[in-house]
Amino acid sequence: MSSVQEKCVSFKDKRMVWNTSIDVQGVVDALNNLPIVHQLDLEGNTLGVEAAEAIGEALKQHPELRSALWRDLFNCRTRTEVLMSLQHLANSLMYGSIKLTVLDLSMNNLGTDCFNGLDAIIRSGACYTLQELRLENCSLMPHATVLLARSLIQLYKNAEKENTPLKLRTITLGNNCMETEGCTELSEAFKVLKTLEVIDLKQNDIFLDGVSSLALALAENLQLRVFNMNDNALCEGLEDICLVLPQLTMLREIDFGECLIGNKGAFQLSQALENHLTHLEFLDLGFNHICVDGGLAVVKSLKNKENLRYVYLGGNCFGARGCQRILCEMNKLPTSGALGPFDEDVSEDDEFYVDTSLNEEGATDVATPDGSNPDGSNPDGSNPDGSNPDGRNE
């Protein structure tokens, strides 16, 4: 962390409609009245072309700007308006010799039509120092993702020529429908960058070929700490990723929830985790069609993960008896408290519920909905017909 306190101009979530330079006078005044501005947060407003130009002019006075937090900034704007507004902002960043470390344009409907505006910012000298790029839910689709990948490679080359090696650490591109085509091209950019610590590609319709390309890119980013592929189809591609995971010794978080890895994938992942990734803190494998033996294999692979704080296995195919077995296995670990709930975890033939509270002997109880024990006996130990377990009548 920097020892210098961040000076921020924030209009976050004001829900302002900024069309003209008059509309945005408050932002301009704030920028003009402060000698130092490290962060400009305009999230949750809607910015028009003339207003963007006015803010851009004011930004030229602040070469010390580091964070451009422009999430959800173009709601209800046409593609043309968004493109021209981004170009005005890009011009101000380049003119002012600004050196950004954070650029957040998430939740803006950029798509291919507006990509030239984004590209102008990314390729500029303002991004030679970029450490975090956040473009979640920007409707990039495959074509714009391909263009983004090429822009990142060009940015890397430009920064290298200027003797300011690019050190991009975080890239979040969730919910962009990039599909296999976009992921494959983006993986080529990741191979070039080699400095990524956070890769977030959740909800992007990525399938086998894209996953295999991504696995090769991971091997070039050995400082990776967070890897989020939630709600993509890893399936057979998981095998390639599992071959690389043991090399990622700094990995802290793995999110493979809703990735269709199945029981086979659970075993592959457990083999990759066992005796590796000792710094792991977070693991999400929820809703993956994993059976009991696969779940048990995963839990057993966590025995040397002393920093584990959360493991989610809900929504799989364990059934109550399977959940009980997994819970008992997890209770053998010093990090047993990390196990999340088994919500929505019911097999078709499931007739039991799980009580995760500990009894006096340290075991957990399983009971049927009518209150009887799993073997059919009543809570007091008698049989359902009222007789004693040994066959004697009172």
**Domain presence at residue 44:** no
C-alpha torsion sign, points 19, 25, 27, 31: positive
**Domain presence at residue 359:** no
Distance CA 388, CA 379 (A): 12
Q: One-letter amino acid identity for 181?
A: E
Measured in whole angstroms, how far is the alpha carbon of residue 154 from the centre of its chain?
A: 25
Q: One-letter amino acid identity for 279?
A: H
Q: What is the reported pLDDT for 365? A: 40
Q: One-letter amino acid identity for 115?
A: F
Distance CA 193, CA 217 (A): 9
**Domain presence at residue 98:** no
**Domain presence at residue 97:** no
Return mean pLDDT, the chain.
89
Number of domain units in the chain: 1
- pLDDT at residue 34 greater than cutoff 50: yes
Mean pLDDT throughout 127-133? 97
Percent of the chain with pLDDT over 90: 84
| Cβ atoms of residues 132 and 103 within 8 Å | yes
Query: Residue 334: pLDDT band by 50, 70, 90 thresholds?
Result: very high
Q: What is the reported pLDDT for 393? A: 41
Whether the model pTM is above 0.85: yes
pLDDT digits (tens, 9 = 90+) for 233-249: 999 999 999 999 999 99
Q: What is the reported pLDDT for 5? A: 78
Q: What is the reported pLDDT for 4? A: 58
**Domain presence at residue 6:** no
Q: What CATH number should be reported for the domain holding residue 150? A: 3.80.10.10
Q: What is the reported pLDDT for 97? A: 85
Distances, alpha carbon 100 to alpha carbons 59, 63, 104, 127, 278, in Å: 12, 9, 11, 6, 34
pLDDT digits (tens, 9 = 90+) for 202-214: 999 999 999 999 9
Full residue range of the structural domain in which residue 295 is found: 67-92+104-346
Within a 10 A sphere around the Cβ of 178, how many other Cβ atoms?
29
Q: What is the reported pLDDT for 360? A: 33
Q: What is the reported pLDDT for 2? A: 44
**Domain presence at residue 291:** yes
Distance CA 139, CA 121 (A): 18
Query: Residue 353: pLDDT band by 50, 70, 90 thresholds?
Result: very low
**Domain presence at residue 58:** no
| Cβ atoms of residues 305 and 318 within 8 Å | no
- pLDDT at residue 338 greater than cutoff 60: yes
Mean pLDDT throughout 102-115? 95
Mean pLDDT throughout 332-355? 73
Least confident window among 31-40, 105-114, 220-229, 362-371: 362-371
Distance CA 112, CA 120 (A): 13
- pLDDT at residue 359 greater than cutoff 90: no
**Domain presence at residue 360:** no
C-alpha torsion sign, points 289, 295, 301, 304: positive
